Amino acid sequence: QSALTQPRSVSGSPGQSVTISCTGTSSDVGGHNYVSWYQQHPGKAPKLMIFDVNRRPSGVPDRFSGSKSGNTASLTISGLQAEDEADYYCSSYAGNYDVVFGGGTKLTVL
């Protein structure tokens, strides 16, 4: 299963909005509404930020939102804060109880 495609890096200034894309195929992102997004700070375990394309777990700020169009999912972070600087990974159900991840995007808060 090929990895989902994410930009290697994105950046934004505090208060701005950034969007991270995650492109797959009709077998994964496009075929199922089971896209998740994870935030990972150095040395820490991934933290779930979005699941089922656009649902936020309890405790995740509403500055984080998810969407999907066709084979591409997106994570938007509005009102950027310094603590948002981290690596972000998307994942998608790919059928047959298989899961595929994106390669990860490094977010830099300028």
Partner 1 sequence: EVQLVQSGAEVKKPGESLKISCKGSGHSFTTNWIGWVRQMPGKGLEWMGIIFPADSDTRYSPSFQGQVTISADKSISTAYLQWSSLRASDSAMYYCASPFGEPAWGQGTLVTVSS
Q: State yes or no: residue 93 binds partner 1 (CB under 8 A).
A: yes
Identify whether the C-beta of residue 25 lies closer than 8 Å to the C-beta of residue 94. Answer: no
One-letter amino acid for residue 26 of the chain: S
Name the phi and psi angles at 29, rounded to 5: -55, -50
From the list 21-29, 60-68, 71-79, 101-109, the region that binds partner 1 by CB under 8 A is 101-109
Q: With respect to partner 1, which residue has the nearer C-beta, 38 or 64?
A: 38
CB of 1 vs partner 1, minimal distance in Å:
7
CB of 98 vs partner 1, minimal distance in Å:
7
How many residues are recorded in the chain?
110
Residues 1-60 that bind partner 1 (CB under 8 A): 1, 3, 34, 36, 38, 45-46, 48, 51, 55, 57
The per-residue DSSP string of 29-94 comes to GGG-S-EEEEEE-TTS--EEEEBTTTBPPTTS-TTEEEEEETTEEEEEE-S--GGG-EEEEEEEE-
Residue numbers at the binding site for partner 1 (CB under 8 A): 1, 3, 34, 36, 38, 45-46, 48, 51, 55, 57, 89, 91, 93, 96-104
